[in-house]
Structure 1
Amino acid sequence: MAEDRLPPVLRRLWGHEPVPRRGPRPRLDLATITAAAIEIADAEGLAGVSMNSVATRVGVAATALYRYIGSKDDLLVLMADAVAPDPPDPSGRPWRDYLALWTRIQRDIVLRHTWVLPIANFAPPLGPRRLLWLDRAFAALDGTGLDDGEKINVASTLAGYALTDAAIVHTAGTGLQEYADSGIDSAADYGELLAEVLDPGTYPALSAAVRAGVFRGAESWVDDADFRFGLDLLLDGVEQLIARRTSDRRAADERASDGRAAADDRTSGGHVAGK
């Protein structure tokens, strides 16, 4: 069975492990343990999450947690899936509006729980909550003419963009201390430094843009307008793909119609010649 190939932690997450008929009833469940771990991560970051700290939070000995979770790595898998809320309902929304909202919410989830960034990856989702988001993206694209493989690629691209943008926003807000000695506190400062170090002979295009003031006047490293620009760029591409598929389908229908008409003409002509 397919579920037999799932790691034990995912089998538990999907509720596919048999429930013991004998022995004391478990005091805890995965949801309680995972919620406690998320609370710790939100307050202290991933560094604060350990089997000991989670056990203390739920009021058991650390060894008791191993009855439910095999390791801290398993706990991180659970946390990354559980942190996602229910996706919005696509009913009644145009596909583009829905996917814009779908992508923004995923970006905002990561920004609210930035500890997800070190454990997030671009592997296909296997947890029930993440797969629920993929299901809703499929539903939103129903009727667009895209095939299932294209729908998966659209969802994967948008989810990757949400994660990447969240990483940029988070890094811009916390990582500038690395450049403290250079006095880089904003995008404008960054542009001024580039103007000093870039050699127009080696970097002609970038140097020209910097000297023209591409970073000038920028109040921060990131802006919501930057997120919207990138998102619109991706959705414009999806829209063009849908338009191509519609055009291809229309052309195929016309060719099929022309073929049927030609066949009818040949049949009709044959009947007339045979009279």
Structure 2
Amino acid sequence: MDHDLLWDGPRPATRGPKPTLTLDRVVAAGIAIADAEGLGAVAMHRVAAELGVTKMSLYRYVPGKAELVALMVEQAVGAPPALAPGAWRAALTTWARALLARYLAHPWALEATVGPRPVGPVELGWMEAALGALAGTPLAGPERLDAVAVLAGHVRALVQQSAAADRPEAALSAAIAAPLARHGDRFPQLLAALAETAAAGAGDQAFEFGLALLLDGLAARIPA
């Protein structure tokens, strides 16, 4: 895998015909395919066809699919937001909400960011930003890393649910409506919770509720 391409950018061509594309165009084409059809639809020959070039000519810009997908993640997710110094809770709230928005815009990035793979500076920049928000706290290094991992996991779980169904809580309610109509006496707590949620119009708040719980837990570990 060509990590230099991910970290240093393309090397200037020293011989051969003048390039007709740019690496950014190649990556953007891959993102467009993934946004429309999912990561599984991204292949070198497919990207080449979208750009009107041959598959072999595409290898002048990117050595393979692994590097292409890594570059797609870097471009699609983008740099983390600027975080205000000093207030760790506000900073992590901004961080988590921004990460949620980026993943919701490109749900395929969830699949692209698991397992052994090339990791670029933008992706590591998100971790650096979150760790920086906790740098002034007495949390030890392992605790800071775990806190960031748990927050990222919460974001990813909610994006995965959203990708599977628009308004996941409403979709769940619709899916279980028929069974509950027949067997509601077996699930009184579920019926009561659903009824209260509908009456309050407070559905689909799992992300903010979970984020608040996680940050409350961190606050309990950080002495005032």
Pairwise TM-score range, normalised by the shorter structure: 0.7 to 0.9
Q: Deviations over 1:24-55 (max 9, x none)?
A: 55444433311121122223433543323322
Q: Contact between 2:10 and 2:23, CA under 8 Å: does it hold in 1? A: no
Residue 117 of structure 1 is matched in structure 2 by: 110
Change (3 A) 1:61 1:124: closer
Change (3 A) 1:173 1:18: closer
Question: Bigger radius of gyration, 1 or 2?
Answer: 1
> How far off is 1:187 after superposition?
1.1
Q: Compare 100-109 and 115-124 and name the one that shifted more.
A: 115-124
RMSD: 3.3
Distance 2:8 2:171 in 1: 49
Which structure has the higher relative contact order (CA within 8 Å, separation 6+)?
2
Distance 1:117 1:198 in 2: 36
Residue 100 of structure 2 is matched in structure 1 by: 107
Residue 212 of structure 2 is matched in structure 1 by: 232
> How far off is 1:235 after superposition?
0.7
Q: 2:194 aligns with which of 193, 215, 234?
A: 215
Q: Contact between 2:86 and 2:136, CA under 8 Å: does it hold in 1? A: no
| Aligned-partner residue type, residue 238 of structure 1 | L
Distance 1:186 1:154 in 2: 29
Residue 57 of structure 1 is matched in structure 2 by: 50
Q: Contact between 1:191 and 1:214, CA under 8 Å: does it hold in 2? A: no
Q: Contact between 2:34 and 2:108, CA under 8 Å: does it hold in 1? A: yes
Q: Which ranges of structure 2 fall in alignment gaps of 5 or more residues? A: none
Residue 12 of structure 1 is matched in structure 2 by: 5
| Aligned-partner residue type, residue 129 of structure 1 | V
Change (3 A) 1:21 1:172: closer
Residue 176 of structure 2 is matched in structure 1 by: 190
Alignment of 1:144 with 2:137, yes or no, is yes
Residue 77 of structure 1 is matched in structure 2 by: 70
Distance 1:214 1:70 in 2: 53
Residue 4 of structure 1 is matched in structure 2 by: none
Alignment of 1:40 with 2:39, yes or no, is no
Distance 1:37 1:45 in 2: 10
Instruction: Give runs of aligned pairs for residues 168-183 of structure 1, distance below 5 A.
Output: 168-173=161-166
Q: 1:158 aligns with which of 122, 136, 151?
A: 151
Distance 1:160 1:209 in 2: 28
Distance 1:26 1:189 in 2: 53
Q: Contact between 1:81 and 1:127, CA under 8 Å: does it hold in 2? A: yes
Residue 254 of structure 1 is matched in structure 2 by: none
Change (3 A) 1:17 1:241: same
Alignment of 1:132 with 2:111, yes or no, is no
Change (3 A) 1:16 1:74: closer
Distance 2:165 2:106 in 1: 16
Q: Contact between 2:6 and 2:67, CA under 8 Å: does it hold in 1? A: no
> How many correspondences in the alignment?
221
Q: Give the alignment's TM-score, normalised by structure 1.
A: 0.67
